[in-house]
Each structure stands twice: as C-alpha cells, then as structure tokens.
Structure 1
C-alpha cells in the first residue's frame, strides 16, 4: 500500500474562504464533501485530512542561523496555494486518482495527487 497526499489548490490572489462563498453553494459543497469524507473513512483509506487557513496567516521559521527568524507569511510567493488536503493509503496510483476524482467532483475544483516518498531500503 502507498500513501498519497491529495491537495486542493486555491488561487493566491483571492484567498477564498468559506465565509466568502454563496451560502447555498457552500451548503451544497459541504454536504458533498461530507459524503466524500465519510466514504473515504468507511473504505479504510483515510489517514488524515484538514483544511488550511490562507497563506496570509502563515508564519515562516528559519532556524538555519544562530537565532531563529520568524517571518509573517508563506516561505514562497506563488499563484496558488494548498487550501486543504487528505492523506490516504491505497493500493496504487489508480486508486488514488479515483479518490481524487471523487473529491474534485464534490468540491467542484482541481485536486493534485502525489505519492509520499518511501524510506530507503536498508
């Protein structure tokens, strides 16, 4: 079994939040995502999930020098950012893509699928 990171990209220019969505649309999306999350959990594939606040709320910590430096904001400016994620464990990439397809339909958005690296043998 392989672990996969499914991520929900958002546009950095807008930093969308649930509060900025139309209430009826938000209710429909939340219901669809709830059904998706339940199915994922009942399948045994779900390891962890979460939604993230926008990058403007981030702190970046650099402890490569003598004293740590804490900076407001993300470590890199980007046109998109991760707004939410699922960590799943499934048999193969095809299964991960199937779950991502279901998530994309529920959220009416794109989902990125990436496998976690395996530790080196030895």
Structure 2
C-alpha cells in the first residue's frame, strides 16, 4: 500500500542550530529518502514565497502565504510503499520535524482505477 508522509515543520525549528547540527538533520532526511520503501518526495520552498489560489464566482483570487491557519507549515513529503500502517509510522517517526516541534501526517494514498 502507498502512504504519503506529510511533513509539518514548526516555525523557526532550525533557528539557533549550528551548521553541523543542520547538516546532521539534512543527512537524516536524505537517509529516509534513500530507504528502498520511499518512492518519491520533495522539500517545499518557504512559506514566504507561497501563494494560495481560490476561485469564487468565476474569479481567480490569489493570496500570499499558505492556506492553512496552523502553527506548523507544510514543509515537504515522502511517498512510500509500506506493507502496513505500522511500517509507515516507523518511517514517519524518523522524520526530524516530528521531534522538532512539528508533526508528520501519515495518510494512505487512494488510487482510482477506471
């Protein structure tokens, strides 16, 4: 089964960390990316260059910033193949954001076949 691991980062989670600490955290993310069960994923750009698009009454409305009104920001994701939810949770627990004030949402991917 495929699962999406949706990474929510705490604002300023990296503030105050040394270059070596930041490099170590990046290495953790790359190690997860290299897990054979991970089939895709990406880090997203910062929220200050994010736009949200809505269409109301046939008019396109664009606002600055992410849509969600939350403490954490959607920072990236992994797509993975896992035998079950427990396996997906094991990988999610390795994501640094989960221990740095953020969270990782584990969601099954629904595929539609015609």
Q: Place the TM-score, normalised by the shorter chain, in its bin.
A: 0.7 to 0.9
> Please, which runs of 5 or more residues in structure 1 have no aligned partner?
none
Cα RMSD for the two superposed structures:
2.7
Cross-structure match for 1:56 = 48
**How many residues of Structure 1 are paired with residues of Structure 2 in the alignment?**
112
Cα contact 2:98–2:104 (8 A) shared by 1: no
Shift of 1:49: 0.9
**Which of 19, 25, 29 is equivalent to 1:23?**
19
User: Which consecutive segments of 4 or more residues in structure 1 shift more than 6 A?
Assistant: none
Shift of 1:108: 4.7
Q: Secondary structure at the match of 2:7?
A: strand
Shift of 1:58: 1.2
Cα contact 1:5–1:85 (8 A) shared by 2: yes
Q: Secondary structure at the match of 2:81?
A: strand
Cross-structure match for 1:8 = 7
Q: Secondary structure at the match of 1:30?
A: helix
2: CA distance, partners of 1:8 / 1:34: 14
> Please, which runs of 5 or more residues in structure 2 have no aligned partner?
none
Report the TM-score when normalising by structure 2. 0.76
Cα deviations by residue, 1:3-46 (Å, 9 ceiling, x for unpaired): 1111222224x3x56x87420101212223222322x1xx2x22
